[in-house]
Amino acid sequence: MTHRQITFLGDAYEPAISPDGKSVVYVIRPPGGEMKLMLQDVSGGRSLELMHAPILRKPTWAPDGSQLLLSAVTEHSPEVFIVSRLGGAPRRVADGAYSCWLPGGTQIIASFQNQEAGVGLVDMATGGRKVIPAPAYHWLEGIACSTKTGRLLLLTVNRERYSLWSMKSDGSEQRKLVEAESGITLQSARWSPAGDAVYYFRKGEDTTELMRLQLSGDAQQPSVLVSGLETGGYFTLSDDGSQLAYTRSLSYSNLWLVDLSGSSSSVLGACPRIANNCTISGAFLR
């Protein structure tokens, strides 16, 4: 397995690789500014801004690769928008914090985190929303659609237990796949391209493991594909399953010391003044 860095600004989050594996979109979070949805070739080159808003979350590609679906928070509660891969004005299609495409691109799933709002099936042509049955949960922390089979994957939290559920888009055939007290990285669950397996991140003490759960056949226990990853919690797969894009998150903490003049009893009074601020010592996140 070969790892190759494709962004270099240090603020790329929530990647989504295009169905053909040639492009990737991601969200950047400039300090003090609006978030931006960026499009870039996997091979490198300049990036193109597609959309901006105070908060952007969870971009996903349409099955044909022509559009993107994502959640945005502007002046109201989270709403679901569609934006062309060529840019232009985004189009609002539903309310919700999570969304994903169903096969054919004519219907989507849109939902909020709380169970009261329910999981909704939205018709793209009419905008009509139908609530579908879902497993009981306290919080919904992620949802994914298989564009091959149309099945849904839900990551839920209930009484501090994490569960991965599979079900049909009409709410039938609900099946708990994985349950754990901790370790499943929120918003990390994904379908395999063929819809016959599930991938997710399992967090260890310092690094992350990429897990695979085969849903067909006799062996239906999660297996570790890759260990020792320094991930930020998000990943995405190309349609042919040959490429995986993920965020790599590193933190460094160093101690800085300022030598102070004067005796120990009057150290504050003797502290050097720099731009009207006095710093004795501290730990800085670098």
N-to-C CA span, the chain: 29
Per-residue pLDDT of the chain (286 residues; tens, 9 = 90+): 788 888 888 888 899 999 888 999 999 988 888 999 999 998 888 899 999 999 999 999 999 999 999 999 877 789 999 999 999 999 999 999 999 999 999 999 999 988 888 899 999 888 899 999 999 999 998 899 999 999 999 999 988 788 999 999 999 999 999 988 777 876 778 999 889 999 998 887 778 888 899 987 665 788 898 888 888 777 888 887 788 888 887 666 767 777 776 655 444 444 443 333 333 222 322 2
* Phi/psi at 270 (5° precision): -100, 5
Instruction: Count CB-CB contacts under 10 A for residue 277.
Output: 8
Give the tokens for residue 69: 């679906």
Beta-bridged to residue 38, according to DSSP, are 26, 49
Q: How far apart are CA 268 and CA 280, in angstroms?
A: 8
Do 152 and 144 meet the contact criterion of CB atoms below 8 Å apart?
yes
The domain locations on the chain are 12-250, 253-286
Superfamily of domain 12-250 in CATH is TolB, C-terminal domain (2.120.10.30)
Give the DSSP per-residue string, 247-263.
Answer: EE----EEEEE----S-
Q: Residues in the chain, how many?
A: 286
